[in-house]
Amino acid sequence: MTQQENMDDLSWANTVPLDVSGFSIHQQILRIRRIGKRLFGVSNCFVSIADYMAGSAEPERSMASIEAAFVDGLTVPKALYVANDTRIDPSLRQHRLVVGAPYIRFYAAQPITDAQNQIIGSVCLVDYAPRTFNPDDGLLLADLAILFERELRLNNASATQLDLIKKNRNLRRESLTDPLVGAWNRAAITRALSTEMVNCAQAQKPLSMVLVDLDHFRNINEEHGRPIGDILLLKVVSRLRSCIRPHDALGRYDGDQFMVVLPGASHLVSLAVAERMRLSIMAHTEVVGAVKHQLTVSAGTVSTDTFPAANAEELIGHAEKALVAAKKAGRNRVAQAYPGELLSS
C-alpha cells in the first residue's frame, strides 16, 4: 500500500479495511480509485457507498478527505451525472467547496447498483479545473462502476457483514484517535506528517510543522489534580484547532505536547500560525469550577523550505530543539528552527 493510500485511511472516507468471505472491499476500492485517477487524469477518484462507507466529518482532514466529504455529501445520481464546470452547474455552483477552498471545478458520478439493481453508491471523479467529459469518457466510467459491481455481487455481502464493516471502521478510527482530546494520537499524527511530506514534495510545495507545549502543566496537575488538567487540555486543543485550516492536522504528541502539520505552509506562515496559537491561549483565561487558570504555551516550528533534505524524524528533531529553545528563553514564546541557528519571537 502506498503512503497516499495510508493517508486516506486516516481520513476514514471510502475506507473499509475488512476482508469479507475472501474478498477485501477496501482493496477493491483502492484498485478502482487508482484505475480511475490514471484513466481520467483527475485529482481523485472515489467509490462512495451509501450509509456504511460515507466519510465522516473529522476536524483534522487531509485534502483527500475534504474531497471525499464533497463526494459523500452529494445525492447519489440515478444515472451518469457530469458537471464539466461546477461553477456553472445548477446543483453545485453554490456548494461551499466550489465557491470556497479548495475550489472543486469538475465532478462526475456513475451510480453503482447491487444484485437487485438498487442504487447503493457511485464512482466519482473530482478535479480542480473544468474538463470536457465526452460520451466515450462516460462509457469508461460506467465500465469502472461495473467492475466494482461485479466484485460486490460475487461477494454477496449480507447486511450483517456490512454492519461488521461499520464497526471495524469505527474501531480503526478509535485506534488512531487520542481518547481524551479527540485529536490524532502520536502514531496517527506522525504518520500524517510523513505522508504530507511526500505529497508536498511531489507537488513542489513546502510543509511546516509546529510542536506546542503547555507551560508548567505538571504544576497544574499537582496542584489541582488530573481531572482539572484533562479539562484544561480539552480547552487548549479547542483553541489550537481554531487557529488552523480544515486540512491541517492536529495531534497529541506527548502528554501536554501537541503537533500541528501544515501542508503547503512556508516557514513564515508556520511562524505566524504558531504565534496566533500562543496569543489565542494567552488571551483566554480558562475557568474550571471556581478556579481561573491563565495558561501559556511555548512552540517550536520547522519547515521543509529551510530544511529541504530532512526526513520526518529529522524534522521533528529540529522542531523539538526549537521548542527547548523557546522554553529556555522564558516560555510563552515561539522559536523557529533554521540551519545552524534558532530564531524566537
Q: Compute the distance between CA of residue 79 and CA of residue 204 in angstroms, rounded to an integer.
A: 38
| pLDDT per residue of the chain (345 residues) written in tens, 0 to 9 | 333 333 444 433 333 333 434 446 778 888 899 999 999 999 999 998 865 443 433 334 578 888 988 998 899 999 999 999 999 999 999 999 999 989 999 999 999 998 788 899 999 999 999 999 999 999 999 999 999 888 777 765 555 566 666 766 666 666 788 888 989 999 999 999 999 999 999 999 999 999 999 999 988 888 888 899 899 999 999 999 999 999 999 999 998 999 999 999 999 999 999 999 999 999 988 888 778 889 999 999 999 999 999 999 999 999 999 999 999 999 999 999 998 765 555
Whole-angstrom distance, CA of residue 56 vs CA of residue 68: 9
The confidence score (pLDDT) of residue 11 equals 39
CA pair distance 329, 319, nearest whole angstrom = 15
**Rounded to an integer, what distance in angstroms lies between the CA atom of residue 101 and that of residue 246?**
10
CB 54 within 8 A of CB 16: no
Q: Which amino acid is at 135?
A: P
Q: Could you please state the CATH topology (level 3) that the domain comprising 3-175 is classified under.
A: Beta-Lactamase (3.30.450)
Residues contacting 157, CB < 8 A, separation 6+: 20, 21, 25, 165
Strand partners for 111? 122
CATH class of 186-344: alpha beta
Nearest to 177 by CA among 270, 56, 274: 56
pLDDT in tens, 312-326: 999 999 999 999 999
Please count the residues of the chain: 345
Instruction: Give the C-alpha separation, 138 to 191, whole Å.
Output: 37
Every domain range in the chain assigned CATH 3.30.70.270? 186-344
Residue 94 backbone dihedrals phi, psi, to 5 degrees = -100, 0
Three-state DSSP class for 81?
strand
Residue 87: exposed, middle, or buried by beta-carbon count in 10 A (0-12, 13-18, 19+)? middle
List, by residue range, all CATH 3.30.450.40 domains of the chain: 3-175
Match 461477494 to its residue by C-alpha cell: 155
